[in-house]
Amino acid sequence: YPTVPVVVVDDSRVPNTRYYLQDNSHLTYVYAGFDFGLAAGRNKMLEYVKTKFFLLLDDDFVIDDTFRMEAFLDVLLDSDVTLVG
C-alpha cells in the first residue's frame, strides 16, 4: 500500500529519521520524545490523521503480503462495528 498515508510517532531514545525522511510524500514523521507511551502516542498520531479510518500498529507488528486491508474496510463499511482487530 505505497500510497496510503502513514503517520509514524517515534518515542525511541534517539530519533531515527533516516528511514522516514527520504522521498516519502505520503509519510508524516513525528518525534514524540523518549518513552512517550502507547496511549499518548496514539493520541498524538490522531492529531495528524485526515482519513475516516486508521490502522494502529506498534513497532512489533508486521504487515506482509497476506494482509488484506480491503477485508478490514469491508467489515467497517458493511456493518455497525467501530473496531476491527
Would the pTM count as exceeding 0.85? no
Q: What is the pLDDT of residues 2-35, one digit of tens each?
A: 788 989 899 989 887 776 666 677 888 899 989 9
In this structure, the dihedral spanned by the alpha carbons of residues 27, 13, 39 and 2, taken in order and rounded to 10 degrees, is: 20
Query: Which cell is 15 given?
Result: 530519533
Look at residue 10 and give its three-state secondary structure: strand
- Residue among 49, 58, 48, 54 nearest 69 (CA): 54
Q: What is the pLDDT of residues 53-84, one digit of tens each?
A: 999 988 888 989 999 999 989 999 999 998 88
